[in-house]
Amino acid sequence: MPGFIKPQLATLKSKAPKGEQWLHEIKFDGYRIQVHINRGRKKVFTRNGLDWTKRFSVIAGALDIPGEAIIDGKAVVAHEGRPNFSELQAESAAGRQDRLVFYAFDLLWRDGDLRNLPQIERKQALLDLLGENAIELPVLYSEHLTGDG
């Protein structure tokens, strides 16, 4: 199983792409993290590869999944139903995790590298993985829309 995988980052464009082949996701205001699960051992990495397992131990602990997996997503804190980055920073600085939510949006590894698969297949595999293992809050599957942006 690999260590930290450098994430693909969004590219700012003036217009959303057109066509049915496109997949669109909500950009949540939070910390981009990867959760690495290796036969019961878990690590959480920031988008820059820092080990923040202790800061996100509640999220890691909720991902009770056998085998190997690397899940990409965003850790957020919601305020009045919407992610609030300043509250996430405050919660994190205080060492609190009770308001954290992890929006999982990609499965990069599942007992092998999945990055060459189409994103829609990886997202379906992620949804299946979360469902098969009865994963609940603070982990949520990040929905998407297909078609014109």
Q: Is the pLDDT of residue 149 over 70?
A: no
Query: Which residue type does 86 have?
Result: S
Cα(90)–Cα(71) distance, integer angstroms? 25
Q: What is the pLDDT of residues 43-59, one digit of tens each?
A: 999 999 999 999 999 99
46 in a structural domain: yes
Query: Could you confirm whether 27 is annotated as catalytic?
Result: yes
Question: pLDDT-derived band of residue 133, with 50, 70 and 90 as boundaries?
Answer: very high
Is 144 inside a domain boundary? Answer: no
The Cα 63–Cα 130 span in angstroms is 8
Q: Over the stretch 29-44, which tens digit does the pLDDT of each residue have? A: 999 999 999 999 999 9
Based on the structure, what is the number of domains in the chain? Answer: 1
Which range marks the domain in which residue 46 is found? 27-134
The CATH number given to whatever domain includes residue 42 is 3.30.470.30
Q: Is position 80 within any domain?
A: yes
Of 13, 18, 27, 54, the catalytic one is 27
Residue 80 pLDDT grade (very low, low, confident, very high; cuts 50, 70, 90): confident
